Amino acid sequence: MKKVFIKTYGCQMNERDSEAVAALLAARGYRLTDSETDADVILLNTCSVRDRADQKALNKMASLAHLKRKRPAVVLGFLGCMAQVRGVGLLQDLPGVDLVVGTQRFHHLPEYLDRLWAARQPIVDVAAEAGSESAVKDHVLDVNGNQRVTAFVSIMQGCNMQCTFCIVPATRGPERSRPIPEIVEEVRQLVSVGVKEVTLLGQIVTSYGRMTGGKSEFVKLLTAVHDVPGLERLRFTSPHPKGFGDDLVQAYRDLPKLCEYAHLPVQTGSDRILKAMKRGYTRDSYLRIVEKLRTARPGIGLGTDIIVGFPGETDEDFAATLALVQEVGFDQAYLFKYSPRRGTPAADLPNQVSREVKEQRHRILLNLINENVARKNAQRVGATVEVLVEGRSPKNPARLFGRTRTNHGVVLAGGDDLRGRLVPVRITRANRTTLYGELT
Ligand code: 5AD
């Protein structure tokens, strides 16, 4: 039986794509392995959103190509976003690579592997495919053979926004949404095998169905999935702040299974830079969305993404970002140094910010965020919260791990019988990344 090792870089969409590829290959008789040394097929599912992600996968592949000299039979493949952007160039840069498969062609892997077993001739496929948004629906069991408690469900592919820093429209193509009944059916099936929580995934979920339906298609989808009996919790990511119209805010009031957490990528607190990024909102309109969500669901958890060092960002612009972070008090924030991406408008802007300044701003903002998050987490000590137990803690298998509705990870003591259960947990201590608690 041939063994496959898949390494995933980047976002949750990539994780989900890798899961689907794993399920597809498992159904064809491949065995998944978490050790690359004994794998017959090694696939890197890549990310292109920043240069560092690109470099990581390229370095990894260079070291694998080295290994291949000892084991020439092994198949090496690039999947996903970097494959899509670099295509055949990857074969030229890295001899030893057998497969380059783009973001709309994952489901052809079994057939490509068959071809490679029959004859070793490199295969590059980065074509667009109509209907590929519906091709990603297989799910895998966890490492212990259990169905997972939580699952990702891909609802759409692509993004039609034109944020000037972002490569994603080039890697993922234009927006294409799956029909509501198909998504609901996938959720029903997941629930029937024990899944309690689903996260609806897409590059810009708030645009779901916009190309085919009306303005509120995403809220219709949320409502339809919410009504699946046996589903306990519903999440989605990533939305665009612009997508939080009154109907979506109202959904936070009306849909009790919809968890009180929202990822609201602000990118910067400066109106000038927001405009240069073509984000389509202002600092004020963003803050109004935060306020509306907090009114609709008091205690809602808020997360964000921030880029420091976008071209032309001045000390004053950066100060506006610091002030916004202070004002909102995020529960989670991902911080990035601007990384020019070839072919995106911002890469060609004058006034690129120096590496030193980016690093300095990154340090300052990270400190502020860490202090804020630690303080907010400390305030949760003593509270009793609902936790969905996902299984053993990956870091400490003697403990259980679960999440609150506000998306905080919680470590607690307890037996395997709690897996998949919603339990009340009293928080006893907290650090910046994790809450610790006990069953009440
Ligand atoms: N440089 C730095 N960060 C970026 N992101 C997207 N493109 C870039 C880039 N060129 C960040 C944004 C986005 C997150 C997924 O990655 O903050 O929300």
Residue-wise pLDDT for 29-65, tens only, equals 999 999 999 899 999 999 999 999 999 999 999 999 9
- The finding on whether 265 has its CB within 6 A of some atom of ligand 1 is yes
Q: Give CA–CA dist 305/79, Å, rounded.
A: 25
Phi-psi region of 351 (alpha: psi -120 to 50; beta: other; left: phi over 0): left
Centroid of ligand 1 to alpha carbon of 437 (angstroms):
34
- The finding on whether 339 has its CB within 6 A of some atom of ligand 1 is yes
Centroid of ligand 1 to alpha carbon of 349 (angstroms):
16
- Whether residue 234 is predicted with pLDDT greater than 60 in this model: the reply is yes
Q: Is residue 290 a contact partner of residue 244, using CB atoms and an 8 Å limit?
A: no
What is the band of 218 on the pLDDT scale with cuts at 50, 70, 90? very high
Q: Give CA–CA dist 146/392, Å, rounded.
A: 12
- For 286-342, how does the pLDDT look when each residue is reduced to its tens digit (9 = 90+)? 999 999 999 999 999 999 999 999 999 999 999 999 999 999 999 999 999 999 999
> Taking residues 411-435, what's their average pLDDT?
96
Based on the number of CB atoms within 10 Å of its own CB, is 138 exposed (0-12), middle (13-18) or buried (19 or more)? middle
- The finding on whether 13 has its CB within 6 A of some atom of ligand 1 is no
User: In the Cβ-directed half-sphere of 77, how many Cα atoms lie within 13 Å?
Assistant: 33
**Residue 78 pairs with which residues in a beta bridge?**
44, 100
- Whether residue 358 is predicted with pLDDT greater than 80 in this model: the reply is yes
Q: Give CA–CA dist 132/181, Å, rounded.
A: 17
Centroid of ligand 1 to alpha carbon of 50 (angstroms):
7
- The finding on whether 307 has its CB within 6 A of some atom of ligand 1 is yes
Centroid of ligand 1 to alpha carbon of 54 (angstroms):
13
What is the band of 219 on the pLDDT scale with cuts at 50, 70, 90? very high
- For 126-180, how does the pLDDT look when each residue is reduced to its tens digit (9 = 90+)? 999 999 999 878 887 665 566 789 999 999 999 999 999 999 999 999 999 999 9
